[in-house]
Amino acid sequence: MSIKYVSTRDRNNRVNASEAILQGLASDGGLYVPESIPQFDFNFRELSDMSYQQIAYEVMKLYLDDFTEEELKGCILRAYDIKFDDPLICPLHKADGAFYIELFHGRTIAFKDMALSILPHLMTTAATKNNDSHEIVILTATSGDTGKAALEGFADIPGTRIIVFYPRDGVSEIQERQMVTQKGDNTFVVGIRGNFDQAQTGVKKMFNDQMLAGELESSNFRFSSANSINIGRLVPQIVYYVASYARLLGSGAVSDGEKVNIVVPTGNFGNILAAYYAKLSGLPVAKLICASNENKVLFDFFETGIYDRNREFVLTSSPSMDILISSNLERLIYRLAGEDDASNRRFMESLVSEGRYEITEAMREKLFDFYGGYATEEETASTIKRIFESDDYILDTHTAVAAAVYDRYRRETGDKAVSMIASTASPYKFTRSVMRAIGADDAQKTDMELTDRLHEISRVDIPPAIEEIRNAPIRHDTVCEVDQMPDVVKKFLGI
């Protein structure tokens, strides 16, 4: 029996996995979710001596069941290869009483590589399967990391083009440099005068713009999304939780069936949602600990049942989590609402019109899987310093938000369960903030000079991704207002 994906806003909108990947967002504005959650049909001990690629196949075949074995294995092997600087793809590191899943060994040294290195292959395979001859145009809004990871993933992949919008004042110097130096004839990077939410809203508008869709169609283009709403991103993210658990089993850190906590530094709610799906599919997970920075919309939601984006947007040292609308939360809301598309639609409409919604008491009761926490800027910085001093291990700012929240959780609850923390970026991606946290910042130094200093202090090799941009020429210098986004797209496509 094959798995269907249904839209969270219209259950009658049912498609296969490959179609859901091609479409990204459903045409009704909803997100595709599996109609029934596939259950893991392996025992985790079996996985403990498999390679990451083998585990990826075991997990992904259950979710993407209209791909043939050959298709899926082809995608996996092309994605998880020497682009990653560690053969384990995501090694575990024990520090401060938790296991850090290092998700930053890919091309752009952040966790989004885990999914974005495979998404282009899943998409082009899906297009071939569905006899779709359109050129795929990836449209993405980024708070920094997605953009670069998507650009790296799609650069020079035949049959695709990619256009990335980023908030000019909302990304780090290194993040911006990484993007504007991007190679590939099919890539286009645009800075917007606005914040990430405005960029994301602008992209969503283009996806829903029927006029624009018609213009694309007549030139044989079709939009798709590389944002974390695409199930082609969500599913590959389930893999590393399973693989990490299997490794803990293999090393004896947990015993068969032992439940672990998973702590995730959260922005758009994609990474933690993958952990939630892993749990629903049968991974022994106790609490899912959702860590926010000072943009603590999700923390407040878990506390009160009210999602309210009407608040000051704060620029923090963990910019990839500076988000007021966590798109993937819709998938959780839909589930909490008993998979009731009409009621989910009402919440989402209220989010658009009022900027808020309040879930029912019955829905709140189903939230026991989650624990929400947040860390202030000071707590984040002091956590980096503390763990560096105690364990000689340097966290990036995003991971430090998770570590700080986990620390508070542990003290508040006394819970001693084994915990895995998603380590979402290399400290080299946010060098200045990290150096400031450990008291080694120097305002006179450039980010690159600080990078060298961080290398001396940490003795961790500087990733090739950073070395490469040192002298790379700038290839993208387009800047626009939010309302000019569609014009910029049309210009790039020549329509």
| Side chain identity, residue 103 | L
Task: Residue 377: count other Cβ atoms within 10 Å of its Cβ.
Answer: 17
Q: Is 106 in the site for ligand PLP (CB under 6 A)?
A: no
In the bound state with ligand PLP, the residue whose beta carbon lies nearer, of 121 and 148, is 148
* Chosen residue from 398, 408, 410, 436 binding ligand PLP by CB under 6 A: 398
Tell me the closest approach of the beta carbon of residue 402 to ligand PLP, in angstroms.
8
In the bound state with ligand PLP, the residue whose beta carbon lies nearer, of 55 and 425, is 425
Token code pair at residue 187: 């890539």
Which residues ranging from 51 to 80 are in contact with ligand PLP (CB under 6 A)? Answer: none
In the bound state with ligand PLP, the residue whose beta carbon lies nearer, of 180 and 488, is 180
In the bound state with ligand PLP, the residue whose beta carbon lies nearer, of 110 and 157, is 110
In the bound state with ligand PLP, the residue whose beta carbon lies nearer, of 150 and 163, is 150
- Residue 61 a catalytic site member: no
Of 112, 148, 204, 429, catalytic:
112
Count of residues in the chain: 495
**Three-class secondary structure of residue 137 per DSSP:** strand
Q: How many whole angstroms separate alpha carbon 435 and alpha carbon 457?
A: 10
- Cα radius of gyration (the chain): 21
Q: Is 112 in the site for ligand PLP (CB under 6 A)?
A: yes
Q: Is 434 in the site for ligand PLP (CB under 6 A)?
A: no
Q: Could you tell me whether strands 285-292 and 370-374 are parallel, antiparallel, or unpaired per DSSP bridges?
A: parallel
Residue 347 is given by DSSP the state H
Tell me the closest approach of the beta carbon of residue 255 to ligand PLP, in angstroms.
30
CB 202 within 8 A of CB 165: yes
Of 40-48, 109-117, 177-185, 386-394, the segment contacting ligand PLP by CB under 6 A is 109-117
CB 236 within 8 A of CB 115: yes
Tell me the closest approach of the beta carbon of residue 146 to ligand PLP, in angstroms.
6
Tell me the closest approach of the beta carbon of residue 467 to ligand PLP, in angstroms.
20
Token code pair at residue 286: 């106790």
Token code pair at residue 81: 């290869």
Q: How many whole angstroms separate alpha carbon 475 and alpha carbon 420?
A: 39
* Chosen residue from 8, 181, 228, 431 binding ligand PLP by CB under 6 A: 228
Q: Is 425 in the site for ligand PLP (CB under 6 A)?
A: yes
Q: How many whole angstroms separate alpha carbon 174 and alpha carbon 398?
A: 15
User: Dmax of the chain from CA atoms?
Assistant: 62
Q: How many whole angstroms separate alpha carbon 21 and alpha carbon 224?
A: 8
Tell me how many helices (H) and strands (E) the chain has: 22, 16
In the bound state with ligand PLP, the residue whose beta carbon lies nearer, of 13 and 261, is 261
Q: Is 33 in the site for ligand PLP (CB under 6 A)?
A: no
Q: Is 233 in the site for ligand PLP (CB under 6 A)?
A: no
Q: Is 110 in the site for ligand PLP (CB under 6 A)?
A: yes
Window 257-276: contact mask with ligand PLP (x via CB under 6 A): --------xxxxxxx-----
CB 165 within 8 A of CB 199: yes
Q: Which residues bind ligand PLP (CB under 6 A)?
A: 110-112, 145, 228, 265-271, 320-321, 398, 424-425
The residues carrying an active-site annotation are 112
